[in-house]
Amino acid sequence: MFDPTQCESVSMAQAKAQEEQNPVNAALRATSIAFVALAESGQIDDTTATENVSQFASWAYPVAYAVGNIRQYNGELFRCVQAHTSQADWTPDATASLWKKVGDPTEEWPAWSQPIGAHDAYNSGDKVSHNGKHWTSNVDANVWEPGVYGWTEVTE
C-alpha cells in the first residue's frame, strides 16, 4: 500500500525549477518563441497562426505594443496596427484603430467590417459577406460599404 511518509518531499518551487531545466521543455519554449516571431514578421501565414492560437501571449495592459505584434484575446488573434501602450478599455475587439483581427483566410466570404484607414482597407478582389449577400471589391484601398461603391455583388 502507498505510504506518503516514505516519499521524498519536493516543494512546488523545486518541481518548477526541475521542469524548467528539462531539455524537452526548453526546446518547446524556443520553438514557440520562433513560431510567434515568424508569424509577427509575416513569414507564417494567418491560417497557420489561427490554427495555433495557444502559441501567442494573451493581450494585457499596460503593455507597450509594436506594430505587427500578435496577441490572443477571447480565443482570437489580433495584430497590432498602431504602436501604443495598452489600457484596460482599449481591448483588441473594441479598438479597430489599434488592432486588426487575424482572420482565417480559409473562410471564403468573411463578414465585412468597416475599414477605418489604409491599414485595413479592402483590396481589389477581396471577398466579403454583407447584409446576406456576397461581394467582391473592384478597387484597391476600398473603404466603402458593399452596395455603395467599389463592390460587385456575386450571384452564384
Give the three cell numbers for residue 38.
515568424
Domain-located, residue 5 = no
Question: Based on the domain organization, do 21 and 86 belong to the same domain?
Answer: yes
Q: Rounded to the nearest 10 degrees, what angle do helices 12-21 and 23-40 cross at? A: 70
Q: Mean pLDDT across the stretch 64-92?
A: 94
Question: Based on the domain organization, do 124 and 100 belong to the same domain?
Answer: no
The better pLDDT of the pair 7, 102 is held by 102
Domain count, the chain: 2
User: CB under 8 Å to 87, separation ≥6 — which residues?
Assistant: 61, 62
User: One-letter amino acid identity for 15?
Assistant: A
Q: What is the pLDDT of residue 64?
A: 97
User: CB under 8 Å to 108, separation ≥6 — which residues?
Assistant: 127
Which residue matches cell numbers 518541481?
15
Quick one: pLDDT band at residue 84, thresholds 50, 70, 90?
Answer: very high
Q: Mean pLDDT across the stretch 68-81?
A: 93
Which residue matches cell numbers 528539462?
22
**pLDDT beyond 80 at 117:** no
Question: Based on the domain organization, do 117 and 93 belong to the same domain?
Answer: no
Q: What is the mean pLDDT of the chain?
A: 87
| Domain interval for residue 65 | 12-104
Domain-located, residue 56 = yes
Question: Based on the domain organization, do 49 and 95 belong to the same domain?
Answer: yes
**pLDDT beyond 80 at 145:** yes
Give the three cell numbers for residue 104.
482565417
Question: Based on the domain organization, do 99 and 36 belong to the same domain?
Answer: yes
Quick one: pLDDT band at residue 63, thresholds 50, 70, 90?
Answer: very high
Q: SS3 of 107, please? A: coil
pTM beyond 0.85:
no
Strand partners, 72: 58, 77
**pLDDT beyond 80 at 86:** yes
Q: What does 14-76 look like in DSSP terms, one character per residue?
A: HHHHHHHH-HHHHHHHHHHHHHHHHHHTTSS-HHHHHTTGGGSPBP-SS-EE-TT-EEEETTE
Question: Based on the domain organization, do 45 and 121 belong to the same domain?
Answer: no
Please report, for the domain that includes residue 62, its CATH number.
2.10.10.20
Question: Based on the domain organization, do 96 and 144 belong to the same domain?
Answer: no
Q: Mean pLDDT across the stretch 120-129?
A: 87
Domain-located, residue 6 = no
Question: Based on the domain organization, do 137 and 94 belong to the same domain?
Answer: no
Q: What is the pLDDT of residue 104?
A: 63
Q: What is the pLDDT of residue 29?
A: 86
